[in-house]
Structure 1
C-alpha cells in the first residue's frame, strides 16, 4: 500500500494510484533547465561525506537557495545530526513490509515541494518494493529531469566497474551498486578524503559505529591495508573521471591550443646529444603519465647523410623505440615548421630539444632552432637539454671515410661548366645576329636555372650566378675580353643580373626539393593504400603473407623471408623476391630460424642492425597485434642498413599485415565455431530424431518377434504372414534410413565418388520402380517419356535413390488409389524430370523448408512412422552434386510436383 506524504509528524494517509501521479507529473509544465548533480565521494564509511554535504547545504542556504533535506541515513553520529538543525526536512515515506515499517525517500513529495536544492543520502541504496523506482539513483535522475539540483553521497565500492576489484581486496561483495555513467555524468564530484589512520581512530572512538559493530568492522572491512587500497582506488577513479570529461570536450577544442593531458615530443636527429634528449623526454613522459612521440623530419639532404650519421640516427631511433616512443616521419626542409605543425595537430603539450649551436656570421647571427620553434608554437612548453662535456667534444658533421663530406661532385661540376659554355656560345651567336645585351643576359639566367635543375648542391647555383656575370662582362661588354666596363650603368646591371640569377636558381632548387618531398609523400601514401587494398582482398593467411611480402620486396628491392606458425605453433619459412638460382640457404637455416623464433616468442625486433642477435643476415620484425606476434618478417640486409623512411614504411605495412592476419584468424575461428555449432546442432537433431522415430519400428519388430516366439506354433499361417510382412516392412524402413544417413554424410564430406556416365533415363526409372515401397500396388504409377532414348550423364545408383525417395514420399503422403506420374523430357542441355501426384498437396511455407535436413511436413501418414526428414535432403545433395537443380511446386487442381534436372547426353546412332 502506498502512502500520501503530509508535512509534519502526522501519520501518512494512503497515496493516490502511482499511474495517476505519473500522469499528473507529465501534465505539469516542462522544466527547460535540467537539475545539476553533485556527488560527495569517499572510499569508506565514516570519512565525512554526509557531514561535508550538510556543510555545503548550509552554505547554499546562506547564499539564498531553497534547500531541503530529502533523506539522510539515520546515523548515531552527533556531529552529523547536529548539522540537520536549521534545514527544512522532508518527512520520509513509511512503507509497511513484513511486519516492519521501512523509511524511504519520498520522491513524489520532493517533486511536489520542488526546492532549488535537495539532499538525498546513499546514492546506491535499493528502494523498497512498493517504491516507483528500484534504485535511489533512478529517483535522483527523475529529480534532475524535474529541474531540481541534488546533493548525494556514495562510496567507491558501490561503482559497478570496481565491484570485483573491491571484492578481491576486502573479501566483501557489495550488493548495492550504481552504473559508472551516473558517477561520470555528475556535474561535480567532491572527493572527501581522510587519512586511514584517522578513520580507524574515529572508529575506535565510536564516532562511526557502536562498540560491537566497530570491533567487527575493524576485524574485517576496516583493516589498514584495505583502507589504503580503497583510498588509492578512489583517488584514481576521481582522476579517471576528469580524464573522461576531457576526452568528451576535446571535439569542441580542436582549434584550441589548450591541453589538459601531457604529450611529450622530441625531434630525432643524428646529433650526439639526441640520445640524452630521448632519455630525458622518456622520464618526463613517465612522470606525467603522458604520451611520448619521436618525430623525424626527412629533408632533401637526408639521403646525403654519411654512413656515420646514418648509424647514429639509427641508434637514436632504436633508443626512442626502446623508451616507448611512437615514431613518426614527416617531410620538409623547414624542420621547425614541420615540428610545430605536427605538434598542433597531435595535441603536443611539451617539446624537448637539445641545445643547438647558433651560427654566427660576420654581420649578423642566424635565429636558433628553439627561438624559431617558439615563434611558430608560442603556446608549447619547450625544454632545452644542455650537452654534456663529452658530447661537446664530438664533431657533429657528415663523415665519409673519416673526412668531412663535400658539397661538390665531378659530374655536377662538369654539368655546370658545360651549361656555362653552351650559354656563352649561344650568346656569341645571338650577338652576331644583332640581338641586344638584354637577350644575352636572359640566356645566362636560363643557364643558371638549368644548372639548379641538373645539380644537387645549392653551391652550384651561387657559383654559376657569379661566373655568368663575369662571363657576360668578359665577352659582351666594352671593352670585350676584359673585366673592365666603360659605361657607368654596367655595375648595376651586373648586380641585378647576379641577384635575379641567384634568386631564381634558389627558388628552382626549393621547387625541386618540394617536388621530391611531394613525390616521397605520394609514394608513401600510394604504397600503403595499395598494400591495404591488396590485403583486404585476400581471404587466406597464405594470400595475405604473399601480398605483404610482395609489397615489401617492391619497396625495399631485397629478398624477404616470412615465418608463419602452423597448427603446432612451429614457424614455417617462405622466401620471396630472390633471383632464379640464388642460394637461399644463406637466409633460411637453423641460425636464422632461431632468431625468427626468438622474435616470435618475445614479440620484439631482432637480427641485423639491432642490439639483439645482430649477427643474423636478416632484420627480423614481429608482425604483431597488441597482445602477441602473429608472424615474423625477415628483411635480408647483410651489412646494409634501412633508411628511416624505408623502415617507417615497412613498420606501417607490417601493421596493415597484422590487422589483416588478425582479422583472418578471427574469421577462421568464427567459422570453426560456427561449424562446430552446426555439427552439434546436427548431432542433437539426429539423436533427437532417431530416439523418437526409431522407437516405433524397433518396438514393432521386437513385439512381433516376441509374439512369434511365444505363440508361433498356435497361430494360423495368414496371421504369421502378416507379422512377417510387418517385420519386413519395418526392417526395410530402417535399412533405407541408414542408407540415406550414410549417403548424406558421404556427399557432404566429399568422400563419395560420383561416377558420371551416360545412362538411359527409362532404365534408371525401371530400376527404381523395382525397389519402391511394396504399398505402391495401392497406387497408379505412370511413366511418360518424351523419347524412349532420353539419356543423361549421371551416377545411376544415386539417381535411382532419388527416384525411390521421391516416389516413396508420394506413396506415403497420398491417399490410396492416387495417381503418380513420372514425366521426362529434354530442355536444352538438361533432362527435365517431374514426379507429380494428386494428393492433398503441400503448403507454400512448407515447400521452402522441404529439402532441409530433419524437416518433415505436417501431412499425416498412413502408418505410425513419421520419418527423419532425410530423404529429400539426400535428393537435393545428389542432384546438386550432379550439377542440376531440384524443387517443388503445386499441381493443378491439387497435389504436388517434384522436379529436378540432370545433364543431358546426346544419343549416337550407328547405321
Structure 2
C-alpha cells in the first residue's frame, strides 16, 4: 500500500506559516516633549529610504512645526483615516491600508496616543502590535512619562499625572531602543521658541509646573536609568541563553483589592520585578464580601488585573472564603518569595475591633518577604451595591424584630427569669444576622441592650443599674450578641458565596452533559449558544471556520451578522485574544468575543451580546465565560477529530 500523499494546500499553509515573521520595533525614546524624537526618527527613515528600503510614513504628528514638516519631504505617506465624532473630523492611522500596503518600515509617531472613538483599537500601541504581527517593521516615538510602571514616580516628581500610558512590555520587547538625549537647558530654550508641543498640558501650567529645570533633570535621569535597565536585562538574557540555565531566584506576588491603591501596587510590583528580573503574579481573592462590593470597586478590580496583564504579569482570581490563608497558600504552592500588599488609611479605632489583612499575612508569611505599601490619600467613599432604601428597610426590620422580642419577654419579667429574656433577644439577633446586613445585626445588638436595661432591669423604665448581677447579664448580652451577629453574618455571606460557586459548577456540568451527546459541529454550536445565552440573559453566537478558514455563524444559520461584529470575531479568531466591548480591542462593538481555544489551536469564537448596552461583566462572570468557552472548544475539537477519523477510514476503505 502506497503511503498517503500529503495535502498540497496543507503544505502551502505550512510554508506560509514558516516564512511569516514578526516585524521589528524600533523606539526613539526621550525624557519629554521637545527632546527631538520625531526629528531623529525621520532622519533615520531618510537614511533607510536612500538605501532603497520601502519606508512609508503611517502617521506623523507635526503639530505645525515647520522643521518636522520639512523633514517629511521625500518620504511617501499613507492617507489618514477620517473618523467623524460629534461633528468633528479626526484623522487617525489607517491600519488596514498600512497592512495592505505592507512596507518594509512604517513610521508611527507618538506610541502612547489615544485613538478616536470608533477606531479598531483604543490605543496606538495596540495598532503597532497588530502591524508587528503582520510582519511590518515599525519606527515610533515615546516619552519616559508614558511608561505605565513609571506613571506614579513621574507624577510624584512633577505633580502632573499623564493619562496616556504604554505597557512596559512593549518597551521591554522592542528590538531596538534609541535614546534621544539633549540637555535640559536646550529643551527650555526650545520651549521659549515655541518648538515644543505641550500636548495635554495647558501652556501656562506646563511652563510653571512640568517644564522646570529640576523636573527635566529628573526625567532625563529616569530615562537614562530605564534604558540602562533594559540593556542589563538583554545582557542577562544573553548570558542565560549562553549557559542554557534558567534558574529563577525570586517570584513576586502582588495582592489586588477593590480600590484605587491596586494600580499603585501593580506599578510598584512591575518596578521591583524589573529590578530583580523575575516573574510576577497579580492575585485577587473572591471572598464572601465580593458579592456586596460597589460597582466602582468591582471595576477597580477588573482594571487592575487588566493593567497587570499589560505590564507582563500573570493574573489569577481565586474563590476562597479566608483571604489571608488563600494568599499564603498560593504563595507557598508557587514558590513566591515576595508578597506586595496594600494598606489603606483607616481610622485608628477600627484596628481595635477589626483584624487587619496585612497583619494576618505577615503573621502567616513565614520566610516570605512582605512589602506593605500605604495609599497616599484616603479612598473616596463609594456607593454600596445595595440601595439606601434597602439598607434603611433592613434597619426597620431590625427594630421590628427587637420590638417583638421585647413583647415576648414581658411575661418573663413577671416570672423573674432574666435568662429567658436574654435567650429571646439572642434569638432575634440571630434571625436578623441571617437575613440582613451586618450593620442591621449590630443595630439589633445595641437595641437589645438598651431595651433590656430600660424594661427588664429594676428599677424599671430607667437606665440605672444597682445590682452586679444585672451588670453581668447586660455585659453577657452585649458580648454574646456581638459575637453571634458577626459570625452569623459571615456565615450568611459564605452561604451566598457557596451557592454562587454551586450554581456555576452546575452550569458547567449541565453544558458538559449536553455537549457530550452532541454529534456535529453545527449542533454543538447551537447547544452551546442556547445554553450560554440563557445563563447570561443575552444573545450568544458561535463562529466556526469553514473549509477555507473563513468564519461562519454556525449557531444561527441563515442570519447575516453585522459587518462590524463579524470583523471583531475574525480578529479574535486570528489573534486568539478576547476583543469587543469592555476590552482594549474594538471596544465600540456590541458583543464580547472569546476565542474557543484549547491553549494551542483555535476552533472558533464565542460572542456575547448583552441586551443591556450598559451591562459590564463581573469577574466571576468572565471566569464562568472562560470555562464555558473551554468546554465548547473541547467539544468542537472532539467533533473535528471524529470527522478526520471518518475521512481517514473512508480513504482506507477505498484503497482496500
Q: TM-score, normalised by structure 2?
A: 0.57
Aligned equivalents of 1:474, 1:365: Cα separation in 2: 27
Q: In structure 2, how many angstroms separate the alpha carbons of the residues matched to 1:639 and 1:354? A: 31
Structure 1 position 468, deviation (Å): 0.8
- Asked whether 1:614 is paired with 2:549, we answer no
Question: What is the alpha-carbon distance in structure 2 between the residues aligned to residue 561 and residue 337 of structure 1?
Answer: 40
Distance 2:249 2:537 in 1: 42
SS of the residue corresponding to residue 328 of structure 1 reads strand
2 CA distance for matches of 1:423 and 1:542?
Answer: 62
> Please, which of 419, 425, 450 is the counterpart of residue 470 of structure 1?
450
Matched with 1:413 is 395
Does 2:415 match 1:425? no
Pair 1:272 & 2:260 matched: yes
CA contact (8 A) 1:332 1:514 kept: no
The reply to whether residue 399 of structure 1 matches residue 380 of structure 2 is no
1:624 and 2:597 aligned? yes
- Whole-angstrom distance in 1 between the partners of 2:633 and 2:275: 31
What does residue 430 of structure 2 align with? 449
Deviation per CA, 1:502-525, whole angstroms, max 9, x where unpaired?
212222112222222333333343
Shift of 1:320: 2.7
What's the CA shift for 1:279?
4.0
Q: Which moved more, 1:330-339 or 1:392-401?
A: 392-401
Secondary structure of the corresponding residue to residue 544 of structure 1: helix
SS of residue paired to 1:489: helix
- Kindly state the Cα deviation for residue 339 of structure 1 after the two structures are TM-superposed: 0.8
- 1:556-605 per-position Cα deviation (integer Å, ceiling 9, x unaligned): 233212222222333222568xxxxxxx99x9422222222222222221
CA contact (8 A) 1:271 1:396 kept: no
Distance 1:552 1:363, change over 3 A: closer
The structural deviation recorded for 1:449 is: 0.9
Identify the residue that residue 619 of structure 2 maps to in structure 1: 644
- Contact map agreement 1:272 1:394 (CA 8 A) in 2: no
Match of 1:515 in 2: 495
User: Alignment partner for residue 675 of structure 1, among 643, 650, 653?
Assistant: 650
Residues 415 and 454 of structure 1 are in contact (CA less than 8 Å); yes or no, is this contact kept in structure 2?
A: no
1:193-342 correspondence runs (5 A): 236=241, 238-240=243-245, 262-282=250-270, 291-342=279-330
Confirm or deny: 8 A CA contact 1:358 1:368 kept in the other structure.
Answer: no
C-alpha distance in 1 between matches for 2:548 and 2:633: 20
Shift of 1:467: 0.9
Structural mapping, 1:542-553, within 5 Å = 542-553=522-533
Please say if residues 597 and 630 of structure 2, whose CA atoms lie closer than 8 Å, have aligned partners that are also in contact: yes
Contact preservation (8 Å) 1:600, 1:632: yes
2:238 and 2:533 map into 1 onto residues whose CA distance is 51
Distance 1:470 1:622 in 2: 60
Question: Which string of whole-angstrom CA distances, capped at 9 and with x for unpartnered residues, describes residues 222-274 of structure 1?
Answer: xxxxxxxxx9999637544x76xxxxxxxxxxxxxxxx665432222232232
1:596 maps onto 2:569 in alignment = yes
TM-score, normalised to structure 1's length? 0.42
CA RMSD of aligned residues (A): 3.5
What is the CA–CA distance in structure 2 between the aligned matches of 1:670 and 1:261, rounded to whole Å?
47
State the Cα distance separating 1:396 from its structure 2 match. Answer: 4.2
Tell me the CA shift for residue 643 of structure 1. Answer: 0.9
1-structure distance, mates of 2:351, 2:378: 28
CA contact (8 A) 1:263 1:292 kept: yes
Aligned pairs (5 A) from 1:532-551:
532-551=512-531
Q: Does 1:654 align with 2:636?
A: no
Report the Cα offset of residue 550 of structure 1. 4.1
- Return the structure number with greater relative CO, CA threshold 8 A, min gap 6: 2
**Against the structure 1 CA distance between its residues 319 and 506, is the aligned structure 2 distance closer, same or farther, given a 3 Å change threshold?**
same
* Counterpart Cα distance in 2 of 1:496 and 1:394: 36
Rounded to whole Å, the distance in 2 between the matches of 1:542 and 1:435 is 76
Contact 1:358 1:366 in 2 (8 A): no
**Offset of 1:485 from its aligned partner?**
3.7
**Secondary structure at the residue paired with 1:409?**
helix
Inter-CA distance 529–285: structure 2 relative to 1 (3 Å threshold): farther
Task: Give the superposition deviation at 1:454.
Answer: 1.5
CA radius of gyration, larger in: 1
SS at match of 2:538: coil
Indicate if the aligned counterparts of 2:344 and 2:379 stay in contact, CA closer than 8 A: no
CA distance in 2, matches of 1:678, 1:349: 60
Look up the SS of the partner of 2:643 in the other structure. Answer: helix
630-639 or 552-561: which moved more? Answer: 552-561
Among 462, 477, 499, the alignment partner of 2:479 is: 499
Change (3 A) 1:539 1:285: farther
Q: Which runs of 5+ in 2 are unaligned?
A: 1-235
Distance between the aligned counterparts of 2:431 and 2:321, measured in 1? 22
Q: How many angstroms does 1:626 deviate by?
A: 3.3
Q: Could you tell me how far 1:429 is from its partner in structure 2? A: 4.2
Q: Would you say the 8 A contact 2:526–2:554 is kept in 1?
A: no
1:373 to 333, 341, 361: 361
Give the structure 1 partner of residue 551 of structure 2: 571
SS at match of 2:625: helix
Q: CA–CA distance in 2 between the matches of 1:436 and 1:232?
A: 79
> 1:636 aligns to what SS in structure 2?
strand
Structure 1, unaligned runs of 5 or more: 1-230, 244-259, 577-583, 683-911
